Chain A
Amino acid sequence: MKSLDEFVELFAEQFDETDASEITATTVFHDLEEWSSLIGLSVIAMVDEEFDVALKGDDVKNSVTVEDLYNNVKSKL
Chain B
Amino acid sequence: MAILKYNNVGITAIAAGVPKTVIDNYHYDLDIWPEEEVKKVVDKVGVIERRFVDEKTCASDLCYAAAEKLIADNNINKEEIDLLLFLSQTPDYRMPATSILLQNRLGLSMSTMAFDISLGCSGFISALSIVYAMMQNNGFHKALLLDGETRSKVYSRKDRREAFIFGDAGVAALIERDEKFGESHFSLNSDGSRGKLIMIPAGGYRNMSSVETLLEKVVDEYGNIRSDEHGHMNGADVFNFVIIEVPKDIKRLMVASGEDIQKMDYYVFHQANAFINNYIAKKMKLDKERIPWTIHKYGNTSSVSVPLTIVSELKDKMQGNKKLMLSAFGVGMAWATAIVPFVDCKISEIVEI
Contact = CB atoms under 8 A, between A and B. Distances in A.
Contact of A38 (B44, B237, B244): B44
B239 A45 contact: yes
A57 B240 contact: yes
Nearest to B244: A54
Of B41, B235, B244, most A-chain CB atoms within 10 Å: B235
Classify chain A: how many residues form its interface, as a range: 10 to 19
* Chain B contact residues: helix, strand, loop or mixed: helix
Interface of A: 36-38, 40-42, 44-45, 48-49, 54-57, 60-61
B279 A60 contact: no
Given A41-B275, A45-B243, A45-B279, A57 B236 contact: yes
Nearest to B275: A41
Classify chain B: how many residues form its interface, as a range: 10 to 19
Interface string B23-43: 000000000000000001100
Nearest to B197: A57
Contacts of A41: 44, 235-236, 239, 275
Interface in B263-287: 275, 279, 283
B234 interface: yes
Contact of B236 (A48, A49, A60): A60
A56 B244 CA distance: 11
B226 to A, nearest CB: 15
9 contacts: A36-B222, A37-B161, A37-B236, A41-B236, A44-B240, A45-B279, A54-B243, A57-B236, A61-B236
A57 B234 contact: yes
B194 to A, nearest CB: 11
A68 to B, nearest CB: 16
Top 9 A-B residue pairs of the complex, sorted by shortest distance between their CB atoms: A57-B236, A57-B237, A54-B244, A38-B44, A56-B240, A54-B240, A48-B243, A45-B279, A41-B239
